[in-house]
């Protein structure tokens, strides 16, 4: 049964030092109330880290997942992995169009991929929307959990497949630059170094 993050901590401290109680309470309050607004940009070490699996489907997880969705909307993107806001846990928020409410997948993994490949032009909120051409399977089936711990599965193709694979790569510390061919990687890095992507249009 899901537990409230703050209540769980307080209930299991068993008369610990009052100062520790205050510190832990403050930490949980911060996590519940302060938004993860800062999207880490290219070069940030968090983007190269492999995220750890989620093990507790509690109120704290749902609060942080909701903030991840709000950050995605403010960034006007299609997907945002937890690692992109410095939270090294395996979940991401996504939406297939700007009119959709964001959804969240916890502990996602690809359980099937098509033999057919396609080249996708993928934007990334961590590249300040510099787009990179990447070759991937055209269709995938992704399994995971919702924020309540219920099993979910997605059949995806084309843009949706590209999006899911892109975000799962983020959770493994893999960026589109790692998957691009040498010429495309050189082009994208040149743009990133020269402009930081500031003059490029925002990706969908």
pLDDT for residue 38: 87
- Describe the crossing of helices 18-33 and 59-75 by its angle, rounded to 10 degrees: 40
CA 153/CA 175 separation, integer angstroms: 24
3-state percent breakdown (helix, strand, coil) of the chain, nearest 5: 40, 25, 35
**In the chain, domain spans:** 1-34, 37-195
pLDDT for residue 193: 86
Dump pLDDT digits (tens) for 37-93. 689 999 899 999 999 999 999 999 999 999 999 999 999 999 999 999 999 999 999
pTM: 0.78
Spans of the chain, pLDDT less than 50: 1-13, 30-35, 197-204
Query: Which residues are known catalytic residues?
Result: 167
CATH number of 37-195: 3.90.45.10
């Amino acid at each position: 049964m899901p537990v409230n993050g703050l209540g769980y901590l307080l209930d299991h401290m068993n008369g610990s030092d009052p100062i520790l109680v205050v510190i832990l309470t403050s930490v949980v309050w911060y996590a519940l109330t302060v938004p993860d607004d800062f999207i880490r940009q290219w070069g940030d070490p968090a983007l190269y880290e492999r995220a750890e699996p989620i093990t507790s489907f509690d109120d704290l997880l749902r609060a942080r997942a909701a903030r991840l969705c709000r950050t995605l909307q403010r960034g006007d993107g299609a997907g945002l992995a937890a690692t992109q806001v410095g939270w090294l846990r395996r979940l991401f928020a996504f939406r297939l169009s700007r009119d959709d409410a964001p959804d969240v997948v916890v502990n996602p993994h690809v359980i099937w991929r098509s033999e057919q490949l396609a080249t996708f032009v993928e934007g990334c909120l961590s590249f300040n929307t510099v787009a990179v051409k990447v070759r991937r399977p055209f269709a995938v089936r992704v399994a995971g959990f919702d924020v309540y711990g219920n099993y979910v599965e997605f059949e995806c193709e084309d843009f949706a497949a590209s999006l899911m694979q892109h975000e799962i790569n983020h959770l493994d510390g893999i960026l589109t630059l790692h998957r691009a061919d040498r010429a495309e990687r050189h082009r994208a890095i040149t743009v990133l170094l020269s402009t930081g992507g500031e003059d490029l249009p925002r990706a969908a």
